């Protein structure tokens, strides 16, 4: 049996990942491609429990190393319980965030810190070896626009990272662009400032050209 593709969506706050993933999944389903939609942090029962620890509460709740370890523990559970078994069965897995978020948020968000970047890389190797997504979409948007979009939504108490200062969000955006520039074959940077339909069309174009 052929393995499924692993496709991830990344980007800063309110870049429109959830909106675009839903449209992309519908597009794959119409083509008859079996697919599974999941998210990080979370996606498996244990990882969803860790998600609540990470996303609720004060911005300074965890020190940086603890935060990297918690995201990584959640990712390991998600890989073992959900992502790897689905890929083995030939299902294409689409994840709303994955390991590039750890590099961008925990590695670059607080300002470039070689020790944190090294730790993010080392921890990933420990939990996942050489496994990586086949394709990653980075939805790029000015932080001011993205934060306004996400703050406009009501009833969301998972706002620990939205409350980081603007410098953090600019570091984050630059971090994602730096990650993408290191491997243009795997990363497709999408301008997320256009309309929902424009962004969707760009994603489909990149997907068809690359996979
Ligand atoms: N995090 C981390 O630090 N380290 C890690 O390793 C991982 C995660 C895995 C949870 O992620 C947090 O965890 C995240 C990083 C951190 N930081 N935060 N917060 P999340 O994915 O659950 O949360 P999020 O990034 O904030 O996603 P979101 O709020 O769900 O936003 P989104 O998925 O990017 O956008 P959306 O829900 O599709 O759209 C937001 C709003 O904009 C909504 O009202 C839409 O209708 C609207 N929208 C969408 N597209 C458009 C366009 N094109 N035009 C106009 N309006 C639009």
DSSP label at residue 87: H
Residue 27 lies in a domain: yes
Domain count for the chain, please give it: 1
Q: Which atom of ligand 1 is nearest to the CA of 99?
A: 6
Cα(2) to ligand 1 centroid in Å equals 32
Question: What is the pLDDT, as a whole number, of residue 151?
Answer: 78
Which residues touch 127 (CB under 8 Å, ≥6 apart)? 72, 75, 76, 79
**Rounded to an integer, what distance in angstroms lies between the CA atom of residue 195 and that of residue 198?**
5
What pLDDT is recorded for position 57? 84
* Residue pair 192/200 in contact by the 8 Å Cβ criterion: no
Going by pLDDT thresholds of 50, 70 and 90, the confidence category of residue 58 is confident
Name the residue range of residue 43's domain: 6-210
Confidence of residue 100 (pLDDT cuts 50, 70, 90): very high
Atom 46 in ligand 1: residue holding the nearest Cα: 19
Domain for residue 156, yes or no?
Answer: yes
Q: In what order do the strands lie in the sheet with 92-96?
A: 35-39, 92-96, 6-11, 135-140, 187-191
Residue 13 sits in a domain whose CATH number is 3.40.50.300
Pocket probe for ligand 1: among 9, 15, 76, 150, the residue whose CB has the most ligand atoms within 8 Å is: 150
Predicted local confidence at residue 112, as pLDDT: 79
Pocket of ligand 1 (CB under 6 A): 11, 13-19, 40-41, 55, 71, 96-97, 101-102, 105-106, 149-150, 153, 161-162, 195-196, 199
Predicted confidence band of residue 1 (pLDDT cuts 50, 70, 90): low
Whether the Cβ atoms of residue 123 and residue 72 lie closer than 8 Å to each other: yes
**Which of the residue ranges 84-93, 140-149, 173-182 would you say has the lowest mean pLDDT?**
140-149
d(CA 7, CA 37): 10
| Ligand 1: residue whose CA is nearest its atom 6 | 102
Token pair 């810190």: residue: 113
**pLDDT tens, residue by residue, 149-205:** 887 775 666 667 767 789 999 999 999 999 999 999 999 999 999 999 999 999 999
- The structure tokens 């909106």 sit at 19
- pLDDT at position 5 is 97
Let me know if 111 is exposed, middle or buried by CB neighbors in 10 A (0-12, 13-18, 19+).
Answer: exposed
Q: How many CB atoms lie within 10 A of CB 101?
A: 26
Q: Taking residues 93-104, report their average pLDDT.
A: 98
Helices assigned H by DSSP within 33-165: 45-55, 64-78, 84-88, 99-101, 114-128, 143-151
Res 141 pLDDT > 80: yes
- Taking a C-beta distance cutoff of 8 angstroms, is the pair 21, 93 a contact? no
- Nearest atom in ligand 1 to the alpha carbon of residue 192 is 53
Residue 56 lies in a domain: yes
User: What's the whole-number average pLDDT of the chain?
Assistant: 94
User: Which value, to the nearest 10 degrees, does the dihedral of the CA atoms of residues 185, 149, 172, 202 take?
Assistant: 10
Ligand 1 nearest-atom number relative to CA 21: 38
DSSP code for 36: E
Distance 59 CA to ligand 1 centre (A): 17
- Reported as a single tens digit per residue, the pLDDT across 105-118 is 999 998 878 898 99
Location of structure tokens 């410098």: 167
| Residue 150, domain member (yes or no) | yes
Over the Cα atoms of the chain, what is R_g? 16
For tokens 């300002």, the residue is 111
Q: What confidence score (pLDDT) does residue 157 get?
A: 66
1 found inside a domain: no
Taking 90 as the threshold, does the pLDDT of residue 86 lie above it?
yes
**Is 69 part of any domain?**
yes
- Residue 135 in 3-state DSSP? strand
Ligand 1 centroid, distance to 97 Cα (angstroms): 9
């Amino acid at each position: 049996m052929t393995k499924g593709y692993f496709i991830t969506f990344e980007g800063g706050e309110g870049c429109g990942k959830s909106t675009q993933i839903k449209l992309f999944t519908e597009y794959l389903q119409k083509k008859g491609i079996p697919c599974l939609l999941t998210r990080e942090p979370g996606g498996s029962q244990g990882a969803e429990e860790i998600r609540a620890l990470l996303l609720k509460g004060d911005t300074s709740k965890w020190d940086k190393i603890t935060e990297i370890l918690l995201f990584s523990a959640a990712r390991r559970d998600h890989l073992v319980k959900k992502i790897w078994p689905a890929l083995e069965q030939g299902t294409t897995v689409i994840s709303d965030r994955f390991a590039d978020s750890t590099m961008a948020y925990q590695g670059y968000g607080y300002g470039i810190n070689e020790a944190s970047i090294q730790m993010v890389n080392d921890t990933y190797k420990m939990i996942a070896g050489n496994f990586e997504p086949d394709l990653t979409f980075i939805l790029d948007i000015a932080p001011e626009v993205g934060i306004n979009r996400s703050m406009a939504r009501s009833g969301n108490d998972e706002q620990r990272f939205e409350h980081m200062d603007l410098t953090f969000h600019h570091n984050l955006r630059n971090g994602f662009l730096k990650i993408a520039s290191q491997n243009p074959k795997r990363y497709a940077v999408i301008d997320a400032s256009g309309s929902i339909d424009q962004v969707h069309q760009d994603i489909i174009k990149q997907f068809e050209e690359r996979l």
